[in-house]
Copies of this chain bind each other. A is one copy, B any other.
Amino acid sequence: MDKEALKEKIFAAVRAVKEQGPLVPSITNTVTVNFVANAQLAAGGSAAMVYMPDEGEAMAAVGAAMYINMGTIFPIYRETLPRTARALAANHKPWVLDPVGIGIGALRKEILLDFQDVPPTIVRGNASEVIALANLWGLPTGQDHDGVRGVDSTDTVLAARQAAENLASFIDGAVAVSGETDLVTDGTTTVLSRGGSPLFARVTGSGCSLGGVVAVYAAVTDPFTAALSAVQAYNFAGSRADVRAHGPGSFEKMFLDGLYQASPADVASNPFRILT
């Protein structure tokens, strides 16, 4: 795939979301659920969040795509998440998994193991989370440790390249690894996207909301383009907010403004390169 073709696909995806306003429901953590919804709305999608098993199934049927984020687990998730994943598979709907918190607690592990049978279309995580998920699913990662510390990553994006590529191939979709530079892969083509801001690390939910926006783009395009479009939109809007922000409080708001304002051309033209 050449770079110009990719840019055209990104342009088309960003425009399609603004035109169609796809409904993209989420089951996501309580910490950043507001930011996820607002980022999805800013990008042009429509949001709806649920917790109950039959509601997850209903959303899998009516949503154009879906987002599942493991940040905070409730007891009911033992039923909700497996049933929702099966409903998504039955309805042939794309969905994004953010395995945040992987390694903490028995239920999260049980659910993540279950997802191996009904895999997501796209995985979004930091380097340590992506390595940990690939290790959990028995895929080669070249890393014998997971590097997860709570919700932080102690691994670099490039250290997760092998894990990300094997994970993308296994799910026959795409993986986005967030870090100083962001890596997106479909297992064959791997891209690095630049931009953003160090302040992303000082605003909770930067990664979660990116996952939600990936799901919005997944409603209108293929998994790899969806992941890359969202990453590009974040790096574009993050770079712009970084210039004017006085700290994480003003940054978050300027970032949302920038995500809302970003044109298809803005997102497509954010700097990225294809790894060889």
Contacts and interface: CB of A to CB of B under 8 A. Distances in A.
A226 interface: no
Contacts of A245: 257
Contact of A51 (B55, B72, B151, B202): B72
A24 to B, nearest CB: 9
A153 to B, nearest CB: 11
Contacts of A38: 202-204, 248-249, 252
A67 B103 CA distance: 20
A52 B73 contact: yes
Interface string A107-121: 110000000000000
Nearest to A150: B48
Interface stretch (A1-9, A56-64, A137-145): A56-64
A63 B252 contact: no
Contact of A74 (B76, B249, B254, B256): B76
- The quantity of this chain's copies bound in the complex is 3
A252 B252 contact: no
A71 B58 contact: no
Interface string A67-79: 0000111111000
A35 interface: yes
Interface string A32-46: 111101100110001
A247 B43 CA distance: 11
9 contacts: A31-B34, A41-B201, A46-B151, A245-B257, A247-B258, A249-B254, A249-B257, A249-B260, A250-B253
Interface of A: 23, 25, 29-35, 37-38, 41-42, 46-52, 54-55, 58-59, 62-63, 71-76, 101, 104-108, 149-152, 201-205, 245-250, 252-261
Instruction: Across the A-B interface, give the 5 residue pairs with the lowest CB-CB distance, nearest first.
Output: A247-B257, A249-B256, A249-B253, A48-B150, A37-B204
Given A42-B249, A59-B150, 4 more contacts: A38-B249, A46-B151, A51-B72, A55-B108
